[in-house]
Amino acid sequence: MSDSAAPDIKAKNRAMWASGDYATVAADLISAFGPTLVAATGIKPGDRVLDIGAGSGNASIPAARTGADVIASDLTPELLEKGRKQAESEGLTLEWRVADAEALPFGDDEFDVAISCVGIMFAPHHHESADELVRVLRPGGSIGLINWTPEGFIGQMFGVMKPYAPPPPPGAQPALLWGSEEHVAALFGDRVTDVVARRQTITIDMFSTAAEFRDFFKSFYGPTISVYSFIGDDAERAASLDRELADLAVRHGVGSGPMEWEYLLYTAKKA
């Protein structure tokens, strides 16, 4: 990857996540993820916690509720601002910091806990972001990650969208690899101990029809908005993607009961 390519990738990622309303997606669909990560990592009062790819604070805010000292970091300032307003409405104090997961502006061994809730997975260069996570965590510090699996519903949704999307930038790795136990093991290697990797599901009962699901993601979810934007005025391709997304939702139970979306919960300690 050339030096000039990196800013372009980051600018596109930032713009993608600023589109739509990810804060609504996080609040309406995956609000349980934050408390799950807090419990899995044992965050407690006084812990210094870094949330990487924090978005609007889906995990940062629950971490701050414990009395921990939390920094929510993300590439997209628009998401951080929404999180800041939510935290202020609860009377919580935490730091909101624009930061690139692949070049964190923090010192070595600075944090007791490093977490990410379907955030770090979308940084394009996995080894760089894994290296940075390990670097800023103190020896013995805790890691807690939630990432969508390639085989689960969101992984399949990205698979449906892929033929309609622009080609990925050179050198960028697929986000969903972070949901593979083997891939995460290779990223961290012998730098971690006490690894626990569990596939779990979150129950989604918000959508009563496939069209409701599809239109929600078309309105609020940056990656979906980006794909439809790339399709542009090609009505035939847009209609085809409409059908494929609706069909996927039906196959996963929309209209007949709640959906189950699989994710990988990964915890470890820095060696």
Nearest 5°: phi and psi at 263?
A: -140, 165
Taking only the tens place, the pLDDT of each residue in 51-73 is 999 999 999 999 999 999 999 99
User: pLDDT category, 8, cuts 50, 70, 90?
Assistant: confident
DSSP string, 170-218: TTPPPGGGGG-HHHHHHHHGGGEEEEEEEEEEEEE---SSHHHHHHHHH
pLDDT given at position 1: 32
Structure tokens at 50: 């870094």
Taking only the tens place, the pLDDT of each residue in 190-222 is 999 999 999 999 999 999 999 999 999 999 999
* Domains, the chain: 5-158+166-203+261-270 (3.40.50.150)
CA 79/CA 110 separation, integer angstroms? 24
Structure tokens at 149: 């699996």
Burial of 197 (0-12, 13-18, 19+ CB in 10 A): middle
Spacing of C-alpha 254 from chain mean position: 23
CA 156/CA 230 separation, integer angstroms? 20
If one counts every other C-beta atom within 10 angstroms of the C-beta of residue 5, the result is: 14
Taking only the tens place, the pLDDT of each residue in 39-49 is 999 999 999 99
Burial of 226 (0-12, 13-18, 19+ CB in 10 A): buried
CA 241/CA 214 separation, integer angstroms? 10
